Amino acid sequence: EAGVAQSPRYKIIEKRQSVAFWCNPISGHATLYWYQQILGQGPKLLIQFQNNGVVDDSQLPKDRFSAERLKGVDSTLKIQPAKLEDSAVYLCASSLQAGEYEQYFGPGTRLTVT
């Protein structure tokens, strides 16, 4: 089966610019996650979708980050405006359902903010 797809793989922007990431989960997976992984740290959950609804966005900096999952399939994560501390790898993952199901990760987007 095809894995989780993400694009772009790399992005370099200047601070205060905006950027968007795209994720296509595994077909049939109801739950989609966006994680931020700063170098040397574990992934930190930013937002979790169940189909097209948000079930947890408690760690999403809502003043600059937004995400949507229209039609319950693909998802986009946007940062506007970017700050230097947003430099990280943004990982998308999906699972059949929320809970005790394996999360399959995409290759990630490495964002560098200068």
Going by their DSSP bridges, the two strands 109-113 and 10-13 should be labelled as: parallel
Binding mask 79-98 toward other proteins (x if CB under 8 A, else -) reads: ------------x------x
Considering only 21-29, 43-51, 60-68, 76-84, which stretch makes contact with other proteins by CB under 8 A? 43-51
**Phi, psi of 95, deg, nearest 5:** -145, 160
Distance of alpha carbon 104 from alpha carbon 88, whole angstroms: 19
Query: Shortest distance, CB of residue 32 to other proteins, whole angstroms?
Result: 12
> What residue ranges in 1-114 does DSSP mark as E strands?
5-7, 10-13, 19-24, 31-37, 44-50, 53-56, 65-68, 75-79, 88-95, 104-105, 109-113
Query: Shortest distance, CB of residue 48 to other proteins, whole angstroms?
Result: 6
Q: Which of 5, 26, 30, 45 binds other proteins (CB under 8 A)?
A: 45
Give the binding site for other proteins (CB under 8 A).
33, 40-45, 48, 55-56, 58, 91, 98-100, 102-103, 105-108
